[in-house]
């Protein structure tokens, strides 16, 4: 017999899985709390108990995927020796994420669109991006021996924009083009080209 903790963990995971499916198929606004709960074979009360509402569920879903991708990127960056290898690791894990069944980046774009219309989501996303930008700034400074230039917003923005274009037409944004563009942003802001 499952313990209460195991049942709670299963309910949480079922709600996350159901939300991922519905958000990908219908968008965030097109996915009601009741529909998510029904897909998960749970109650809407369980969703509110675990996540506080649909926004909390969305944030938990994305944070889990981002954390998983960050672990993989970190492992790849640990073995990379050149700037291009590091940028290729970032590009590869954004265009073909190791988690989220390929839905993670599409949901990231959906969240951006949703956040543009909802203040609480925008505040959450802005804080999340500030954390990412700071991490990128520190990593790039370490890779290039550069100073504290604020390259994070430009690098993350370009990375996500290139991924969007790549998703629409993979031949229009090749891996080589993406890495060259990312290198250009790093070189322009830090003076490094390694």
40 and 69 in one domain?
A: no
Q: For residues 3 and 20, what is the distance between their CA atoms, to the nearest angstrom? A: 26
10 and 62 in one domain?
A: no
Domain edge (last residue) among 10, 34, 52: 52
25 and 81 in one domain?
A: no
Q: Which residues contact 105 (CB under 8 A, 6 or more apart)?
A: 94, 95, 97, 160, 163, 167
Q: Please say whether the beta carbons of 80 and 86 come within 8 A.
A: yes
CA atoms within 13 A on the CB side of 62: 21
More confident position, 174 or 65: 174
Q: How far is CA 66 from the centre of its chain?
A: 5
Q: What CATH number does the domain containing 11 carry? A: 1.10.10.60
44 and 120 in one domain?
A: no
How confident is the model over 155-174, as pLDDT tens digits? 999 999 999 999 889 899 99
Rg (CA), the chain: 19
What is the average per-residue pLDDT within 86-96? 90
* pTM for this model (two decimals): 0.78
Q: What is the pLDDT of residue 142?
A: 86
| Domain around 102 | 55-190
Q: What CATH number does the domain containing 83 carry? A: 1.10.357.10
Query: Which residue is it, tokens 């509402």?
Result: 53
Q: For residues 194 and 182, what is the distance between their CA atoms, to the nearest angstrom? A: 12
CA atoms within 13 A on the CB side of 29: 10
Q: For residues 157 and 19, what is the distance between their CA atoms, to the nearest angstrom? A: 26
Asked whether the predicted pLDDT for residue 184 surpasses 90, the reply is yes
- C-alpha dist (Å) from residue 54 to 31, 113, 176: 9, 15, 39
136 and 175 in one domain?
A: yes
- When divided into structural domains, the chain yields a total of 2
More confident position, 193 or 182: 182
Q: What is the pLDDT of residue 194?
A: 46
78 and 45 in one domain?
A: no
97 and 6 in one domain?
A: no
47 and 85 in one domain?
A: no
Q: For residues 40 and 99, what is the distance between their CA atoms, to the nearest angstrom? A: 20
Q: What is the pLDDT of residue 28?
A: 87
Confidence of residue 112 (pLDDT cuts 50, 70, 90): confident
How confident is the model over 25-51, as pLDDT tens digits? 888 889 999 999 999 999 999 999 999
């Amino acid at each position: 017999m499952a313990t209460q903790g195991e049942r709670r963990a299963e309910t949480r995971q079922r709600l996350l899985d159901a939300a991922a499916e519905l958000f990908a198929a219908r968008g965030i606004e097109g996915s009601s709390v009741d529909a998510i709960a029904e897909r998960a074979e749970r109650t809407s009360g369980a969703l509110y108990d675990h996540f506080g509402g649909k926004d909390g569920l969305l944030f938990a879903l994305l944070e889990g995927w981002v954390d998983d991708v960050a672990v993989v990127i970190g492992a790849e960056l640990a073995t990379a020796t050149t700037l291009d290898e590091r940028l290729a690791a970032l590009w590869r894990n954004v265009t073909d994420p190791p988690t989220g069944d390929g839905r993670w980046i599409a949901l990231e774009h959906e969240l951006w669109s949703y956040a543009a219309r909802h203040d609480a989501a925008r505040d959450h996303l802005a804080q999340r991006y500030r954390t990412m930008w700071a991490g990128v700034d520190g990593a790039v400074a370490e890779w290039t021996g550069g100073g504290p230039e604020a390259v994070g917003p430009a690098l993350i923005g370009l990375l996500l924009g290139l991924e969007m274009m790549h998703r629409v037409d993979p031949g229009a944004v090749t891996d080589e083009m993406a890495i060259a563009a990312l290198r250009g942003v790093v070189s322009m802001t830090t003076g490094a080209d390694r």
